[in-house]
Structure 1
Amino acid sequence: MNLDISIDFRKKEIQKFLIDEKDSNRNYQQNFDIPSGFELKDEELDSRINPNPSQTEEIPFLVTKRFAVEQALGDYDHHDCEVNSPKTRKGIIKIQEARTQILNLNCSYYLLLKSDLNQSVIDECRRLFNLYNATDNPNIEDWILNNANQEINSSMFKVISTMTLEKVGDIPTSRNKAQEEALYEKYCRDRETRSVEVDINNDNTRIPYSDWVKDSRLGLIELDSKIYIEPEENSNVQDVDDPEDINVARQIGQEITDVIIDLDCKKDPGVKPYTKKILTLLRWPEFKIEWKRKTIKIGCSKITIVYPKLYTRTVSLVLYAHYVVPTNLGLIIRSALEKCAIVSALQGGVAGVVMGNLPVAIAVFQTSFKICMEEYLLSCIYPSLLLLKNKSEWGGVLKTHHNNGYK
């Protein structure tokens, strides 16, 4: 009789239990199937919890928080993080916070009996089931058969085991809020420290980010949060040896635009790439989840656990603007001006309207001319943004109070 159990924290139902903060959802028990021909006749009489001490594990997970960057439209009055009204929203920033939930892991055992047993056999099976001690007798089936007072065979009963999870503590514990703290340091008054340094590159001069935030009348407000175990991967950020190396950024930018650029633009008139460093963010914390497997023993059951393990690291982020423009941009602009002037004046009946209503004709011409110029000028211009970060080793594993065999 196999009483081994497996518990996989990748399952959505277990993750949902783990992150649910309702007081009513304190315990989780695995479901089990009852084989054909057997019954759980009385759950109270035919079940028992492993009497040995339970195993304690601290399971990490992440919370994604959304913040809105807002800009004051009138006089700038910065109340801690939030700017005064009237204001407009400029964008959304997502950050992560690491939390943990301590769980007691234990086993529950169930006695399943054949449907057609008489009461004396049922009573004897129950008596032996409740007397069984896993510490002294690892095989429950053999023990029941060897200690029965009447004829009992292995076809009459089955013992199955399931995993029980019990939350310890009121709410999950916040273990690492480094990203949120870094964000507040950039956007909030009286929170500036040197743990995060951000500069803006503007005409080869470095402006402290906090000054730029103030000059731009920016503020920050928290919107909502979403809890999950495995973080989303940001495939738009590339790891490099030196994110400050402009040549590396230029090469990566060229590789990206080479894929999307029109072949006709490469041939005639040809294009020239440009790369400009925009922003440098030092010491930005990151998180990563890896899934590990281990085996523990509780009572007479070996339990295989697939659990999340949280790693941290600190990186430098550098933002670049990369764009390609036609080599002979000046000639293209002059040619576009001539073509658009003629086309815009002739299309939509502008020439005919001129004779009767010159102001209307001018308005139609101006709109048509701007659209025409955009089409000509943007046809071989490809702007893009690159975000590079330095390659660094993942370490600083989140230390747990109850790691019990984490490796």
Structure 2
Amino acid sequence: MALSEDEADAVPLLVSNYHFVDEKNEPISFALLPIQWNKDEGVDGEKKDEMFLYGNMDNGLQRIYKEVVAWKFDLLDAIPEISVCTKDNVWIKLGKPRKSFEETIREVLITVHCLHFTRMNAEASGKSVWEYLSKAFGSLDVGPSRNDLAEHMDLLQEAVKRDESLAKSKFLLSFLGKQPQEGTVFDEDVQNSTTSKFIVDDGDCISENADDDSDEGDELFDTVCAFCDNGGDILCCEGRCMRSFHATVEAGEESFCESLGFTDKEVKAMQIFVCKNCKYEMHQCFACGKLGSSLKSAGVEVVRCANATCGYFYHPHCVAKLLHLEDENAAEELQKQIAAGESFACPIHKCYVCKQGENKKILELQFAVCRRCPTSYHRKCLPREIAFEDDDEDENIITRAWEDLLPNRVLIYCL
């Protein structure tokens, strides 16, 4: 299903710096192609004119020119994914478009991002939705407006009809019940305050959550390196893991990080970065540490946590045991449900002591998060044995907690 299914190819193709043209070589939006809602249903609509995709692959090393016949989108990951299907039935994911092509596809991109945000935030107000969109598309000369969504009313209505989570969105239900007037835009103060970029660049590791009332993490990408757990100049993977890395040896020099080993020239040439785990869809279980396939067509072995800001994967039996430590029967039942496709939130999203969630606005209820296992504590619940850097005057005390590495959180190595 376009809203939920992973691509079936073993190595998903990704194109960046792309644009689409018609048979007259004029710019055209891929939204005019038939859409695939579900691969078992085929495509919805008829292809009227020829359309061709130009772009870069393999980090700019390869140019492609392909005729395309359909498109689809996926809302389940941290960033919405849009793909197009070539005439020879190969699906290609769209990365960052050519700058001059942004205006041609702005309406459909804004619409898909709106669907993604409202699916994750069913209670979000109109103000929150427009603030999010204005930040996500801050590089546009004219900010997002209701008219952008109005151009794709049929798409919005069909998406809401097909997706239970979207059907609960207060914003979408209100919007679909009232056609916007020509020229209507959202609050000018919101529009004029935009500073973020069109789509997250490799260096933009923090994506702000527009809903001020949300207790979920504001960051879609990790703010420390997955190798050394230190911050600084890091490169974000735009795949499903949402990890970040020191890209060059120089960037990780302070923490003696092995880094990804790229040169500065290679990093600057990248349109988009996807780590090898995400490229080949082989991810490490955060509980046992073993690699497993996350690709449906290969037989899923590890499954990602359903939390929108979490990039951790688990074997069904591993996470089921963690969620039901004292109930073997419940763990077995949950394991079967996860293996059958049921979603789950991993234990890192609840305090290990009091079993309650996080509230980043209240200092004592902020999380101290372990980087080596799925364990979190509220600051107020943190064991004294997990000492902060300033508490190590006694040579026998090992520092296990650090401030200022994770936004509104403490980074720890638990006991």
Q: TM-score, normalised by structure 2?
A: 0.20
Q: TM-score, normalised by structure 1?
A: 0.21
Q: Which protein has the larger Cα radius of gyration, Structure 1 or Structure 2?
A: 1
